[in-house]
Chains A and B, each alone.
Chain A
């Protein structure tokens, strides 16, 4: 390990320890914001693991997240909670592999379109399944898992995602993905199996999103398909990851924190204008900060270094 890496690890551990202290403040407001931030930290960092290097925009996060919720909602009365998390992870990985096999062998546009409709497709299937089974449309999740517990679990998952991302970046797989992102033709010609590299990373990112949904199910206590498969979630994840900068492991988190604080205000003050604000954010990211906040930081750091 190099000196810079030791330093980064130390900084990360300190930040995680500080973040873990939030529930001890006893403030319900900060805890609730903390859970939201931790959720989107996990989701958008794992999103960026796949979409950052490859530039494939995945809008499937909402579908995976909803599946995780439904696994817990359906199984909470029958099976112990950790087993459900495992089932959610396996299901998420299987779905990601199937979607990847069908679309990632082809050009990126097919993938975007497919993932765009995936959450709505699964929602329709779940609704149909529930009506033909004759059960009610909602599910109750009654557990004794408290909000601080959910928060710490999310932080733990976040730590796993960061370690995984760090390890993938150093591995042959991460190197292969960066080549694919730069030029897929070159990647194919240098003997990289582009489809399988992309599918592996998509499976990782889908599994994490599914487990996140499963972790958050106890917080809602009542699950309905329109809430679990909310179309907004996938877009929020994309926006935050790109705002922070998807090309760096630490990029998404610096997008998530400010965005969530502002978003919380917007949804409280102007609940009817959220889509409009979301649209403006998208345009701002494309035209004003194409490389995200991380890109800006790097540019100014390089300039400061150049001045001396």
Chain B
């Protein structure tokens, strides 16, 4: 029971991170390997606001999310849009954007390392035990889970029920056709990329309440987000939410039953299984 609830709580935050990456890859077609670093930047921002201004990490979202939105929008406009325009096909864009976002992620790590140093950080906020089905869990994990659930629900509603969300989904299905029905594809992509970055940074601020982090831990979150997105199916928001819970449960189970050092190994095991047996993802549709 402890494993199941712990896994679900972890999965909730993973779902939020994966949704951020999915907006960036599914709509804007940028495989953003700096995703984890943006998350860690959100964590550092929350830490800094908490330590400096005694601002609760939940309230710090009001500051972190808009800044991340603007920052990611600028990254898209000035670094990634030139690549989109330069590339002749999707394969070329993938190679270029992978290399470019690697560069951006290293710059993020370098800057955060220069500002905060190489130590591990964590802080205490809402570390009050809270009873769920007679098992104690820290309240901060539950708050993070609720925050992730609310954000995911808003995002889901926005994508599926509003006109601007429909535009994004149209671009995700076929950018050329979307262009023909008078959707500004570049603007929609920039929007999706910025929104994805904002969601990721917000997830970072929430996760910083109960995770110990340092400047170079981002790549682990990138890996997890990528595995979740592939597990769920690249263009399926519902799929990645389910996949996030699967990964959260698998990691918690492995960490508490076998060895806490093997969390990445459990994620990789899922990844290999999906590649071998269902490469289109749990919810993805078979193409061609």
Q: A110-B275, A113-B230 are in contact. Are A55 and B106 (CB under 8 A)?
A: no
Chain A: minimal CB distance from B225 (Å): 10
A103:B99 contact, CB within 8 angstroms = no
Which residues from chain A contact B111 at a C-beta distance below 8 Å? Answer: 276
B interface residues, how many (CB within 8 angstroms): 46
Chain B: minimal CB distance from A283 (Å): 4
A286:B96 contact, CB within 8 angstroms = yes
Chain A residues at the B interface, C-beta cutoff of 8 Å: 55, 57, 102-103, 106, 108-110, 112-114, 116-117, 120-121, 124-125, 127-128, 131-132, 184, 231, 235, 238, 242, 272-283, 285-287, 290
Q: CA separation between A57 and B97, bound complex, in Å? A: 12
B106:A275 contact, CB within 8 angstroms = yes
Partner of B264, one of A102, A121, A278: A121
Contacts A110-B230, A125-B265 aside, 17 further interface pairs with beta carbons under 8 A come to A55-B95, A57-B98, A102-B272, A108-B94, A110-B279, A113-B227, A127-B261, A242-B99, A272-B113, A275-B110, A279-B102, A279-B107, A281-B103, A283-B79, A283-B104, A283-B107, A287-B100
Q: Closest residue to B96 on the A side, CB-wise?
A: A286
Which residues from chain B contact A275 at a C-beta distance below 8 Å? Answer: 106-107, 109-110, 113, 216
Which residues from chain B contact A127 at a C-beta distance below 8 Å? Answer: 261
Q: CA separation between A275 and B118, bound complex, in Å? A: 12
Which residues from chain A contact B91 at a C-beta distance below 8 Å? Answer: 55, 108, 184
Q: Does B49 contact A (CB under 8 A)?
A: no
B223:A113 contact, CB within 8 angstroms = yes
Q: Does B105 contact A (CB under 8 A)?
A: yes
Which residues from chain B contact A131 at a C-beta distance below 8 Å? Answer: 259, 261
Q: CA separation between A121 and B118, bound complex, in Å? A: 22
- Report B54-73 residues with CB < 8 Å from chain A CB: none
Q: Closest residue to B25 on the A side, CB-wise?
A: A109
Q: CA separation between A114 and B279, bound complex, in Å? A: 13
Partner of A116, one of B79, B83, B223: B223
A231:B102 contact, CB within 8 angstroms = no
B114:A116 contact, CB within 8 angstroms = no
Q: CA separation between A277 and B111, bound complex, in Å? A: 10
Q: Does B205 contact A (CB under 8 A)?
A: no
B259:A117 contact, CB within 8 angstroms = no
Chain B residues at the A interface, C-beta cutoff of 8 Å: 31, 33, 79, 82-83, 91-92, 94-96, 98-100, 102-111, 113-114, 118, 216, 219-220, 222-223, 226-227, 230, 259, 261-262, 264-265, 267-268, 271-272, 275-276, 279
Which residues from chain A contact B94 at a C-beta distance below 8 Å? Answer: 108-109
Partner of A286, one of B83, B108, B110, B271: B83
Which residues from chain B contact A282 at a C-beta distance below 8 Å? Answer: 99-100, 102-103, 106
A276:B230 contact, CB within 8 angstroms = no
Interface hub of B82, B109, B216 (most chain A Cβ within 10 A): B109
Q: A273-B114, A279-B109 are in contact. Are A114 and B271 (CB under 8 A)?
A: yes
Q: CA separation between A103 and B274, bound complex, in Å? A: 11
Interface hub of B99, B105, B219, B230 (most chain A Cβ within 10 A): B99
Q: List 11 A-B contacts (CB under 8 A).
A: A55-B91, A121-B264, A128-B261, A131-B259, A184-B91, A272-B114, A272-B118, A273-B110, A280-B107, A286-B96, A286-B100
Chain B: minimal CB distance from A69 (Å): 20
Q: CA separation between A132 and B261, bound complex, in Å? A: 12
